[in-house]
Structure formats: structure tokens, C-alpha cells
Amino acid sequence: MPALRPAPPATAPANEMFLRNMRALWLEDPVLALRVDAVNDDERVAVEPARRGAWTASVPAPGGQAVQLHSRYDPCREAEQFVGAISLEEKYCFVVCGLGLGYHVRALADRLRGEAVIICSEPSVPLIASALCCVDLSDLITGRRLIILTDPDKTRLHERLQPHTALIMLGAQFVQHPPSMRAAEAAHRAVCDALAEFLTYTRMTIMTLVHNSEITCRNIAMNLPAYVSTPPVDLLRRRFAGDPAVVISAGPSLRRNIEVLAGLKGRAVLCAVQTAIRPLMQRGIVPDFVTSLDYHEMSRKFFEDVGDLSGVHLVAEPKATWHVIDHYPGPVSLLDNEWARLVVGDELGTRGGLPAGATVAHLAFYLAVYMGCDPIIFVGQDLAYTGHVYYVPGVEIHRAWWSELNRFHTLELKEWDRIVRGRPILRKVVGNDGEELFTDELLFTYLEQFEKDIAAAPCRVINATQGGARIRGTQVMTLQQAADRFCGRSIDPARFAYRAETRWHDAVNLPAARAQLERRLAELDDAAAVCDEIIELLGELANLTHDPPRFNQRLIRVDELRTRVYQDTRAYRIVNAATQLAELRRFSADRQIEAVAVEGAERARRQIARDIAFITGVRQGVARVRPMLAAALERVIAAGECHDAARSG
């Protein structure tokens, strides 16, 4: 790693350094490189030599006064003092407001040990061009340890930061470069606000993944009989190309549009979320599709006693509770799932898929995009507490509350109670009408995801919610306006003919699935034995750090077994997917070891402790996953026997 060093004394920074930095930038961030390359020499920020040989510069502030970005005497020493005041403990992501000429960014990077990423906001592209002439940042750029953001564009922000979400999750710190803040405070704060929202989104996403990983895999395992015996979603690819779709969510604003929906049947593809089924069916509105992905058994209540669903196509992620999949009376398609493919093999498991949905509403949107619909119209997609309520009237949770309601404890009060229980995570967003609304961190992450997805969608997206949070990238109008403009003709009935032509349950793959599950169970038994031996050997190694020859001798066997855990076909990957916490802890422990300046026996002890904790987590994961696959095997056998009995009967 190059040390922070002054540029050679001259009348202008060396061109060689600029070219080295630009080569790195073209490789890692060609969008920014193109913008920097377009800056003419006379457009760059003028630099002048400092007394100790490096460069300094001044830039205008909003009030008209000039701001000196760095010391006129010794910018390098100033940068080291600035970074010396920053606490680096257990932080793996640093958000630096202001690049300046790069001295403090270089100094910060040189103090960091192990993996860490620096995200730098700098709205002035001419200043970036000047900085690349003054300080060598090429190794940070090519090593993906420095990301420069010029504006709060969320699409680009997500694209650049997504590979670093695990590091960001472990700890982020915001650092303000005072001169840069004085020069462009509003621009830096806009980027920081967008980054703070991304951090919220990342934290919530990873916490949800870790918390739900085991139950997700259990549901997938229990859904394997349906996974291998129902047709994939492939038959829907671009089936409704050019037809409008309405994605119907259960937000409180749905009540304003629900009557209009009745007139859209046959003129738009109606894609409803499972929570909206009951209020729709109560008004005689039968959607064309319904989406499901929720893991909780309670989801089956959304479909109970709502009317005839035999003509409504259920599109579900395999992680949805099997209580819905088992009893749904209409056509069912389960989406592609990596964990299901790991268990039953690619030959049985590969099928068409959609992006992983954060909610059923996201899944309904992805489905509409997959089917080629244009435009896609949102209704009931509030993503906020419109009117200080949570749901549209008539949803399942309201039925559960009936016994608690009286004149002193109304439905509206129950809704408000549910909202204020989340007071610590409440926040405000701008609504479609320009007014501020309450939302919470979870709903806000859903909003972030929608804005990212809409930016990448190949079709128009209309927000006809008439309430709720403003969704960037959508065109706002009422549902009636959208219906008049886009839903003036009937959809060709032949596009729905696939429902009568498709065999919705086929048991031909059940015997092969049974054989695959029996193999996976044997592999898990072998993995458990390997983990037990590794844990025993690591315990021995912990007592041998003072005896290098014996330590190294036993380490050979540990490395051999550890390789089997990490690389031995599918068993480890199956277990890891179901026990994400063990993997996250190992990742965190690795970063902590790299960040601490210890070597020799102490480093070995820390590594052994990390490995014992991780392998113990894997062993516990095997113990939790094996019953899932055993239960899946029983269900596959039962499904095959049921099919055979039906044929013989």
C-alpha cells in the first residue's frame, strides 16, 4: 500500500499519477471515469504548491467566500492529524463527506487494517479530477476500498454499494471533512441522507435474512412435493406483453379505488397480493393472479372462506408456508429456488424464477414485469400510514380483532396502537399529495426496493394509490384516469387459455425427488461426523500453541477436514443457507482478527476460537436441517402413495 506522500514540487501535479488513477477508475467505475475524463484542464480546480511540497487548493463557498481545502503549509501532516482523531475500532465502513485533494482519504486508508471500505461523497467532478492528479488512490480504487459518489442517485448508489453490504452491516461511521462541508454542505448532506437510508435498508434486509433463514428453508423443504410436481412459471413469460396490469396491495388507500377495480376485470391483468384477496372477493372482484411468499402459517387464513379461487392463479415463492400451497384450490406455480435445487438437484429443480420479493407486493410487480405487462398500475401501495391506519378495511387482521372491539376500543384505535408500538422506528416521508406521512423503517426499506426496481423496469409504472408515500419513478394519477387512458380494450381471452390446457399436478418426478432426499440425508450425516472430528481437533490445537511442531502436525488433519466442510459438494451449502447467523459471525470474526495487530500464538488462538465457534454453528445447523429434509422425504413418499392410490382407485 503506497504511503501518503507529497506530489513532486512543480508548477502543476504530475500527469503520470492522474493516468494511474484514471486507469483504476476506468476498470472499477467507468461511469465516473467518463465524467472525469470529460473535464478539460482549464476546468479543474486550480492547485498551488504548499510550503512542504504537496498541493493545496481553495474553492468558492455558497456565500461567495473562498474555502481553503487543505493547509498551505503541510497538507499531508494536516491529513494525518485529522485521521488520528477518528475512532477506527470495530468499524469497517467509513463515509467521508468531501474528497478535497484526497490527502485525508489516503491517510485514513493507510491506517485501516484488514478489509474496510471508504465511501466518499464529492459533488464536484472538476475537484475529483484535480485530486486524481495530486494523490495516488489507484490501489484503493482497484481494490474496491474506495467508492466515490457525486450525487444521491439511489439506483447508482445501490449498484455501487451492494457488494459491500456485509461490511457495511458490521459497522459504519460518518466522517465530515470540515472545509468540504463549508464548500458544499447541502450536496454532501443529500448524499449522506441517501447513504443513511441505504444503511437502514441493508441492516433490515440482512437482519430479516438471518432471522428467517431457518424457517424459510423449512417451508421450502415442506413444499418440495409441490415444487417437483407443479408446472413452473415459465408458461407466463411475456404472455400478456403490452397489456396493462394492476398490482393490488392492501394499503389503507385501496378503499378509495376498490370499486373502480370491478370494471377492470378483462381489461387489465389483475395481480393481487394475498392480504387483498378477502376485501376484493367480498366485492365480487376476482383477480387473475395472487402472490404469496409469507412464511407464517397464518397466511392460510387469507384464502379461507373467501369464495371460489379455482380460476385465480397462485404464484408463490417456495418459502411460502406449505399450509397455503397444500390447500390452495386453483392453479399453482412455484418459482425457482436455489436451496430447492441444492436439495433435489438441478435436473429436477431448475425452473423459471423472479427476483426475490421483499413483500408480496414486490413479487406481484415482478410477475407483471415478467409477463410483459405495460403499463403496471399500483393501487393500495401506500408504504406509509395513510390516515393513520395500517390496512384497508376487511383484511384478515381486522377479523382477528373483532372480539376486542367496543365503543371505547375502536378499529381505528387498534390500527393506531399498532403504529405507535413502533415509535422508535417511525419516520416521515413525503406523500403523493405533498404532505408528510408517518412510515417506519421496514416500510421504508420496501419503498427503497420499489424505487430501485422501478428504475430498472422496462415499462411504465403508474401510481394510482391516491395516498401513501411518493414512489420515485412512477407517474401519479387516479385509478379512473389510468383506466380511461390505458385499459380501453379487452384482453384477448386466448392469453388465459393456458389454464385449461395445463396439467397442474404431475407426480412423475416424485420418485426421483425421493432418491435425491435420501442422498442428502446421508451427506448430512457425513458432514456431522466431520464437524465432530474438527471440533475435537481444534480443542487439541488450542492447547498446543506453545508447541509449534505438534501444532503443525495436527493442523494438517484440521485443514484436510476443513476443506471438506467448505468445499464438500452440497451439504455445507444446504446447512449454511439455513443457518446464516453462523456464517455472519465467522465473517465478523475474520474482520476483527485482521483489524487487530496481533501475530504468533495470540493470532493462532483467536483463529482457533473463531473456527470452533463456526464449526460448532455448522454442526448445530446440521442438527436443525436434517429433520427438515427427513420431514420432506416423508411428504414426498406420502404424495407418491396418494397419487398411486388415486390411480388405482
The CATH number given to whatever domain includes residue 27 is 3.40.50
Range of the domain at 383: 223-505
User: What DSSP element (H or E) covers 152?
Assistant: none
Shortest CA distance to 222 belongs to which of 314, 295, 322? 322
In this structure, the answer to whether residues 498 and 518 fall within a common structural domain is: no
Is 2 part of any domain? no
Q: Is the per-residue pLDDT at 338 higher than 60?
A: yes
> Which one of 4-18, 44-58, 566-580 scores highest in mean pLDDT?
44-58
Higher pLDDT, 545 or 49: 49
Residues in Cβ contact with 434 at an 8 Å cutoff, skipping those fewer than 6 apart: none
236-239 long-range contacts, Cβ below 8 Å, gap at least 24? Answer: 236/315, 236/333, 236/367, 236/370, 236/371, 237/352, 237/370, 237/371, 237/372, 238/370, 238/371, 238/372, 239/371, 239/372, 239/495, 239/498
pLDDT digits (tens, 9 = 90+) for 189-224: 998 888 888 887 777 776 666 667 888 889 999 999
Q: Characterize the bridge pairing of strands 172-176 and 93-97.
A: parallel
In this structure, the answer to whether residues 496 and 398 fall within a common structural domain is: yes
Is 414 part of any domain? yes
Alpha helices (H) along 162-177: 165-170
Average pLDDT over the chain reads: 84
pLDDT band of residue 130 (cuts 50, 70, 90) is very high
Which amino acid makes up residue 312? V
Question: What's the grid cell of residue 535?
Answer: 471440533
What percent of the chain is predicted at pLDDT more than 70? Answer: 82
Is 484 part of any domain? yes
End position of a domain, from candidates 206, 241, 264? 206
In this structure, the answer to whether residues 494 and 515 fall within a common structural domain is: no
The string of DSSP codes covering 540-594 is HHHT-TT-HHHHHHHHHHHHHHHHHHHHSTTHHHHHHHH-HHHHHHHHHHHHHHH
* pLDDT confidence of residue 608: 73
End position of a domain, from candidates 505, 532, 566? 505
Is 6 part of any domain? no
Is 34 part of any domain? yes
* pLDDT confidence of residue 410: 61
DSSP state of 499: H
* pLDDT confidence of residue 591: 57
Q: Characterize the bridge pairing of strands 66-68 and 55-60.
A: antiparallel
In this structure, the answer to whether residues 62 and 175 fall within a common structural domain is: yes
Domain count of the fold of the chain: 3
In this structure, the answer to whether residues 135 and 269 fall within a common structural domain is: no
- Centroid of chain to Cα 431: 24
Length of the chain: 649
DSSP state of 475: E
Is 211 part of any domain? no
Higher pLDDT, 154 or 626: 626
* pLDDT confidence of residue 384: 81
Q: Mean pLDDT throughout 75-81?
A: 92
In this structure, the answer to whether residues 461 and 530 fall within a common structural domain is: no
DSSP state of 404: G
Q: Is the per-residue pLDDT at 109 higher than 80?
A: yes
Q: Mean pLDDT throughout 109-136?
A: 90
* pLDDT confidence of residue 69: 93
Q: What is the C-alpha to C-alpha distance for residues 86 and 105, in angstroms, rounded to an integer?
A: 12
pLDDT band of residue 535 (cuts 50, 70, 90) is confident
pLDDT band of residue 38 (cuts 50, 70, 90) is very high
Is 215 part of any domain? no
In this structure, the answer to whether residues 552 and 464 fall within a common structural domain is: no
In this structure, the answer to whether residues 473 and 498 fall within a common structural domain is: yes
Shortest CA distance to 356 belongs to which of 313, 302, 320? 320
* pLDDT confidence of residue 467: 84
In this structure, the answer to whether residues 530 and 446 fall within a common structural domain is: no
Q: What is the C-alpha to C-alpha distance for residues 72 and 133, in angstroms, rounded to an integer?
A: 18
Q: What is the C-alpha to C-alpha distance for residues 94 and 554, in angstroms, rounded to an integer?
A: 40
In this structure, the answer to whether residues 323 and 243 fall within a common structural domain is: yes
Shortest CA distance to 6 belongs to which of 70, 56, 53, 58? 53
Alpha helices (H) along 143-290: 154-161, 165-170, 178-222, 224-229, 258-262, 277-282
In this structure, the answer to whether residues 493 and 512 fall within a common structural domain is: no
Q: Is the per-residue pLDDT at 135 higher than 60?
A: yes
With residues binned 3-state (H G I as helix, E B as strand, rest as coil), the percentages for the chain, rounded to 5, are 55, 10, 30
Q: What is the C-alpha to C-alpha distance for residues 286 and 264, in angstroms, rounded to an integer?
A: 11
Is 617 part of any domain? yes
* pLDDT confidence of residue 648: 63
End position of a domain, from candidates 151, 178, 206? 206
Helix axes 571-578, 510-542, angle to 10 degrees: 80
Are 576 and 495 in contact by the 8 Å Cβ rule? The answer is no
Q: What is the C-alpha to C-alpha distance for residues 98 and 69, in angstroms, rounded to an integer?
A: 10
The string of DSSP codes covering 369-398 is HHTT-SSEEEES--SS-GGG-SS-TT-HHH
In this structure, the answer to whether residues 289 and 343 fall within a common structural domain is: yes
